[in-house]
Amino acid sequence: MVGDIYNLIDEIVAFRDARDWSQFHTLKNLAASLSIEAAELLELTQWKSEEELELALKDEDFCSKLSDETADVLIYVLLICKKAGIDPLDAARQKLVRNEKRYLLDKSRGSAKKYTEIE
């Protein structure tokens, strides 16, 4: 299917390989880059109150920056998946199944507690 996540991975890899950047894409460098991009995303929220952020979500320039940083994070996640042979959709679905067992509805609904703190 055109536009699916696997096609996106192929497009990212083609972009990278055309520039001969694979040599820089060690797992450590990709993990560091993911963390840096996640920090750039977080930076957009730095010093803003919850109310200011709700207003920012209606601001075109803010949403454009948020979109850019979210895309950077996704690209590095997918490059890590490619590097490690992880199917991102299978991995996410398997994690959801595990989380459903960790966060049973009757005990976790409306609670922000981590599964290790739920009795």
| Residues 11-70, interacting with Mg ion (CB under 5 A) | 37, 40, 69
Task: Give the N- to C-terminal CA distance of the chain in Å, as an integer.
Answer: 44
Burial of 58 (0-12, 13-18, 19+ CB in 10 A): exposed
Our CB check for Mg ion shows the closer of 70 and 108 to be: 70
Q: Which is nearer to Mg ion, 39 or 118 (CB)?
A: 39
| Residue of 12, 72, 102, 103 that binds Mg ion (CB under 5 A) | 72
- Identify which of 118, 119, 116, 25 has the alpha carbon closest to the alpha carbon of residue 75: 25
- Output 30 or 69, the one with its CB closest to Mg ion: 69
Binding of residue 102 to Mg ion (CB under 5 A): no
CA distance 83 to 12: 12
Residues engaged in binding Mg ion (CB under 5 A): 37, 40, 69, 72
